[in-house]
Amino acid sequence: MNELSIDKLKSRFQEKIDNDIKIEPNDWMPDDYRQTLIRQISQHAHSEIVGMLPEGNWITRAPNLRRKAVLLAKVQDEAGHGLYLYSAAETLGADREETIDDLHTGKAKYSSIFNYPTLTWADMGAIGWLVDGAAIMNQVPLCRCSYGPYARAMVRVCKEESFHQRQGFEIMSTLANGSPEQKAMAQDALNRFWWPALMMFGPNDAESKHTEQSMRWKIKRNTNDELRQQFIDVTVPQAAMIGLTIPDKDMQFNEDTGNYIHGPINWDEFWEVVKGNGPCNKDRIDVRRRAKENGEWVREAANAYAEKRARRKSA
Amino acid sequence: MSSLFEYTLRLGDDSLILGHRLSEWCGHGPVLEEDIAMTNIALDLVGQATSLLNYAGEVEGKERDGDSLAFLRFDREYKNLLLVEQPNGDFAITMVRQFLFDAYRKPLFERMQNSKDTMLASIAEKSLKETRYHLKHSSEWVIRMGDGTEESNRRAQEAVNTLWRYTSELFIIDELESKMADQGISPNLMEIEDDWKKTVDAVFKEATLTIPKNNWKQSGGRNGMHSEHLGYILTELQYMQRAYPNMKW
Ligand SMILES: [Fe+2]
Ligand SMILES: [Fe+2]
Ligand SMILES: [Fe+2]
């Protein structure tokens, strides 16, 4: 293809984006756009799958049958989200198993929040309320993402995420209104998950290397700091409503803008966890790798059986 | 203790304990689709346990609900089959265990829809839909494993050899079973056994698996005589209720 026609394709592509016309799998797209999406979508898929582990950790210990069922349903949803997202990445030519291998070798990242341990039942509340709450802030704008399959996957996912956020908040509010031990458990969970939840939005805008291009492509609609601020403004009053304290002694309310201004975030901790040095990074990846290894004979059996059947049918 | 209470506990505990075992797989499945399927089946089983144990509590009339029955009985008071408390092992053990149970549960619920006890009849009707899907799913896996690769066939056959000893307990007609059957509350276990055998024979034939010759049999779960495994299940299951008694969650 000659230079001229590539330029033409590029400008036609950007024109579509500017006019909010969705890009579909068979449409021409610049390679950078494709690679950016593959990176982001598979990272998102990995987060859903690794994210099953901290909550899966409490299913067998859930305090009553209703909570057990809700938690099972939630973790099952996350597996479903992983599935839609791997499929969306496949529309861009990313093979699911290869993508998963990248996770296992550490080449691909996932949300750093899942590298923190779930130590008490209250963590099921904190995760639903804060982590799914932050995920909603990130994902609602993605429903308008320029890439059609990703945008459509996000519409389905967001509906379920709001159920996840509500069940988490309900756990927290039950605990916060419960016995002194329960209230202490809830506050402790908030203390541990608050800052990692703020870090979920990624580095400050000035440090974020992908933001500008992603916004021009309408993969991203808001900057990290904008989304973080939205999350804080929604969450701080919720904490107050159930009588829990946000663990930020520097937090201030700005009367003019109506925003809660947070204190300094420990970015050193964030980068350490991203690099693989969080409390659970190794455990999470080991567990996922082991699941894949232990499942190899099962997948081989399914393939062998499917082949035999196809052969018998054609014979 | 009323017979209906005791009988309902048996049904409820089977669902509760097998649901617990399956939920241990969550996040560790051999393939994502299977993680979803096993979690889904666990969820169905927990739902059945909730209906059955709540009803058992009502029948008992001592102000115990499904939660207090699920979380606050002592080891010897659980009445599930030994089969359902066996450890997950590899995927073959889990799926063969599931298949042997589903093949028994489906004809049980089919007939229980006509129970003279209307509550059990309606729980059976609702659970039957789920159980049909569970049996389809576990049968397909037994066939895939049995007729898949050499390794999967070996693992599936080993799983059958390991679990077979727990299957005769499914059909023991003790005093309670015969009393419930006489009253038209529970179905006749001999008919269920016939159906079960037909399903097992057909699926094993397709899967090229064989029934072990060793006729060594284990039973006791229905009377609260469990394997050592149950204690550890209860340790996890009951942890929160024991550590923080009398609280709302
Ligand atoms: Fe999700
Ligand atoms: Fe998500
Ligand atoms: Fe979620």
H-assigned helices in B65-117: 66-71, 82-85, 91-112
Minimum CA–CA partner of B235 in chain A: A61
pLDDT in tens, B27-65: 999 999 999 999 999 999 999 999 999 999 999 999 999
CA distance B116 to B124: 12
Contacts of residue B21, Cβ cutoff 8 Å, sequence gap at least 6: B84, B85, B86, B87, B88, B94, B97, B233
pLDDT in tens, B161-199: 999 999 999 999 999 999 999 999 999 999 999 999 999
Minimum CA–CA partner of B25 in chain A: A56
Predicted local confidence at residue B17, as pLDDT? 98
**What are the chain B neighbours of A305 within 8 Å (beta carbons)?**
143-144, 147-148
CA distance A304 to B144: 8
Distance spanning both ends of chain A, measured CA to CA: 46
pLDDT-derived band at A3 (thresholds 50, 70, 90) equals low
Q: Which domains does chain B have, with CATH numbers?
A: 3-243 (1.20.1260.10)
Neighbours of A87 (CB within 10 A): 14
In terms of C-beta density within 10 A (0-12 exposed, 13-18 middle, 19 or more buried), how is residue B60 classed? middle
CA distance B103 to A177: 45
pLDDT in tens, A75-115: 999 999 999 999 999 999 999 999 999 999 999 999 999 99
**ipTM summary value:** 0.97
> What's chain A's average pLDDT?
95
A72–B42 C-beta distance less than 8 A: yes
> What's chain B's average pLDDT?
97
Predicted local confidence at residue B212, as pLDDT? 94
Please list, residue by residue across B43-58, b when 16 or more beta carbons sit within 10 angstroms of its beta carbon and e when fewer do: bbbbbbbbbbbbbbbe
Question: Using CB atoms and an 8 Å cut-off, which of residues 46-105 of chain B contact chain A?
Answer: 46-47, 49-50, 53, 66-67, 70-71, 90-91
pTM: predicted TM-score of the whole model, two decimal places: 0.96
DSSP, collapsed to helix, strand or coil, labels residue A116 as: coil
pLDDT in tens, B220-231: 999 999 999 999
Distance spanning both ends of chain B, measured CA to CA: 30
Count of H-run helices and E-run strands, chain A: 14, 2
Residue B93: name the closest of B22, B171, B13 by CA.
Answer: B22
Distance of CA A243 to the CA centre of its chain: 28
**What type of residue sits at position A244?**
L
Backbone angles phi, psi at B242, to 5 degrees: -80, -40
Measure A101 CA to nearest chain B CA, in Å.
Answer: 13
Measure B69 CA to nearest chain A CA, in Å.
Answer: 10
pLDDT in tens, A169-189: 999 999 999 999 999 999 999
Tell me the C-alpha to C-alpha distance, in Å, between residue A259 and each of A130, A221, A235, A237, B145.
Answer: 18, 20, 11, 11, 58
Predicted local confidence at residue A2, as pLDDT? 60
pLDDT-derived band at A212 (thresholds 50, 70, 90) equals confident
Q: Hey, CA dihedral for A96, A98, A104, A107, is it positive or negative?
A: negative
pLDDT in tens, A114-141: 999 999 999 999 999 999 999 999 999 9
Q: Which two tokens stand for residue A103?
A: 């996770």
Residue B1 has pLDDT above 80, yes or no: no
Which of A69, A174, A300 comes nearest B249 by C-beta? A174
Residue A122: name the closest of A165, A174, A76 by CA.
Answer: A174
Neighbours of A124 (CB within 10 A): 28
Residue A1 has pLDDT above 60, yes or no: no
Residue A4 has pLDDT above 70, yes or no: no
